[in-house]
Structure 1
Amino acid sequence: MSKKRSREVDGQGDVSMGDPAVKKNADDSSDDEDMDIVNVDFELFNYDSQIDFHGVKTLLRQLFDTDAQLFDLSGLSDLIVEQNTIGSTCKVDDKANDAYAFLTVLNLHEHRAKPPVAQLIEYLGKQARASDSLAGVVPDLVASGKQVGLVLAERLLNMPAEVIPPMWSCMIDEIEAAVEDKEPYEFSHYLVVSRAYQEVASSLDQGERRQKKAREEAGLQFFHPEDEQMRKHALASGTYAFIKEGESGPDSKRAFSEMGVKPCGFMMLIEADKFQPAVQSIAEYIGTAS
């Protein structure tokens, strides 16, 4: 598959993922009955400040869950879409459509004085200090002035995992090209912000015995399967509770609670020399996962 060339002079920075392995079957079944199957081609695009603001903002709101209200998401979205040589949006049919997924990296030191990034630095430091597995390294590193790359990624929940390896591989190539051009993307560490969840007692099931069993079997699960692979390469990783957890939200939030799913934040700190192997592990895992 050809790589997305975000730095070409003619501005064409798109890559088609029309390979059957990257096509999503809208109606997938293992039985022998006749069915209608719709193949959807996903494509990667460079950010366009005239098109991608609202799509990126919507996905950021999903990424930060109930804590999204704590940030200037508009300012953060502007910063992301204006940085159009790094990262990708993933869309269907046409560049003018809203993004189904996005991936980017921001230099925390370079943008530290900008209010949206200053808010994130304060928030992530506070959340890391509350986590035993993150407190020993993340807050000090974020505040140290080192070149830390903040990786933000999110996608709609029904997106096929096969679209993810090309997005990360393209970003690796773009970072390398940016470093060659003396741009501020030579990081010492990458701080990946994501989401996870725990399975808890469903609010639809009030049986005491089943609630007890659910508590006993509760464990960390990942909205994004790549996170489980990348954390194996991390210097530190851990979850944190959302500050605004428990506040009323849209129907989708209540649906999670009713089905016994409790979302939480998840962070991984990866050293620069471990980042490319971590990305490679995503492709290897998703390529073999059923």
Structure 2
Amino acid sequence: MARKRGREAEQANDATVDKMDHDGDSSSDDDMDIVNVDFELFNYDPQIDFHGVKTLLRQLFDADHQLFDLSGLSDLIVEQNTIGSTCKVDDKANDAYAFLTVLNMWEHRAKTPVAQLIAYLSEKAKTNASLAAVVPELLSPAGGGKNVVGLVLADRLLNMPAEVIPPMWGMLIDEIEAAVEDKEPYEFTHYLVVSRGYHEVASSLDESERKQKKPRGGDEAQLLYFHPEDEEMRKHALAAGEYAFTKDDGSVADSKRAFQEMGVRPQGFMMLIEASRFEGAVKAIGDYVGGGGA
């Protein structure tokens, strides 16, 4: 399996990010410097990546992260070191800026972290008409006997350029293909991608403002995406939809204000993609992000 192990010096992409030049007091556009940053992909290393992955998992599951054994889940991910990638800057020993992996939900169904996720995602899927029609059955013991679902977990720091993400997805496709050839348990019938989005909500800080301001799209606010590639990948999904976090009481919207007028209420989001369409979905997000979707 050497062809999927020896990629630790490969560069994911030469992504360009903006960084403020702090030499001087001026904050005008003239003070913006362009800094080239080399992001690199690495295999998981249990001695290095546990804490970085756990931090990103906490971000991925937002208010509900406390419902899961994140330490156990992080161990599963980093021990699976020939499937998935971390994305880092400068050195393998640094914390991950982004991660991507897939777990066999049937293979690991008896392990506490995966059992928790199966129960959680099954219940959340029942709250969304699109997801309810297929996800709970697929994740049930009966459904798992006939289908094998790959649970895709991915997140990144919010200021990461989206251009670094397509190489991670492309690498995942190659690794899964190689693992299947080696008779490892990664031959899936479906992929369940767990992500998150948000709604803009009227601020509760000012009563008059709250009465005057409405979210975009009126009372039924449209789901917005933290990850632009999710919007493109959704087009290839058999089922997709959002769900409310269990631990979110709505009071944190103002503390997550991304806009001056509006608060931000995060939502869970998942997509079920048939294996036959997964590679096409990955190619589509590469085209989308590469075409200026960031």
**TM-score when scaled to structure 2?**
0.88
Q: Which amino acid aligns with 1:154?
A: D
Q: CA deviation at 1:190?
A: 0.1
The answer to which of 254-263 and 135-144 deviates more is 254-263
- Give the length in aligned residue pairs: 278
Contact 2:13 2:167 survives alignment (8 Å): no
Change over 3 Å in CA distance of 1:36–1:193 after alignment to 2: same
Residues 162-241 of structure 1 correspond to what in structure 2 (within 5 A)?
162-206=163-207, 207-212=209-214, 216=218, 218-241=221-244
Q: CA deviation at 1:205?
A: 4.4
Q: CA RMSD in A?
A: 2.3
Change over 3 Å in CA distance of 1:182–1:140 after alignment to 2: same
Q: Which amino acid aligns with 2:237?
A: A
Q: Which amino acid aligns with 2:202?
A: A
Q: CA deviation at 1:215?
A: 6.8
The equivalent of 1:61 in structure 2 is 58
Contact 1:42 1:163 survives alignment (8 Å): yes
Q: Secondary structure at the match of 1:103?
A: strand
Q: Secondary structure at the match of 1:277?
A: helix
Contact 1:16 1:44 survives alignment (8 Å): yes
Q: CA deviation at 1:35?
A: 3.9
Change over 3 Å in CA distance of 1:163–1:24 after alignment to 2: same
The answer to which of 213-222 and 44-53 deviates more is 213-222
Q: Which amino acid aligns with 2:265?
A: K
The sequence identity of aligned pairs, in percent, is: 68
The answer to which of 216-225 and 115-124 deviates more is 216-225
Q: CA deviation at 1:195?
A: 0.2
The equivalent of 2:256 in structure 1 is 255
Unpaired stretches in structure 2, ≥5 consecutive residues: 22-27
Q: CA deviation at 1:200?
A: 1.2
Contact 1:17 1:23 survives alignment (8 Å): no
Q: Secondary structure at the match of 1:25?
A: strand
Change over 3 Å in CA distance of 1:213–1:86 after alignment to 2: closer
**TM-score when scaled to structure 1?**
0.89
One of 15, 19, 39 as aligned partner of 1:26: 19
Unpaired stretches in structure 1, ≥5 consecutive residues: none
Once residues 214 and 233 of structure 1 are traced to their aligned partners in structure 2, the CA distance between those partners, rounded to angstroms, is: 25
Q: Secondary structure at the match of 2:273?
A: strand
Residues 104-115 of structure 1 correspond to what in structure 2 (within 5 A)?
104-115=101-112
Q: Secondary structure at the match of 2:64?
A: helix
- Is 1:46 aligned to 2:57, yes or no? no
Q: Which amino acid aligns with 1:229?
A: E
Change over 3 Å in CA distance of 1:44–1:183 after alignment to 2: same
- Is 1:126 aligned to 2:123, yes or no? yes
Q: Secondary structure at the match of 2:34?
A: coil
Once residues 16 and 124 of structure 2 are traced to their aligned partners in structure 1, the CA distance between those partners, rounded to angstroms, is: 37
- Is 1:274 aligned to 2:277, yes or no? yes
Once residues 286 and 20 of structure 2 are traced to their aligned partners in structure 1, the CA distance between those partners, rounded to angstroms, is: 24
The equivalent of 2:287 in structure 1 is 284
- Is 1:78 aligned to 2:75, yes or no? yes
Q: CA deviation at 1:37?
A: 2.6
Q: CA deviation at 1:39?
A: 1.7
Q: Which amino acid aligns with 1:274?
A: R
Contact 2:203 2:210 survives alignment (8 Å): no
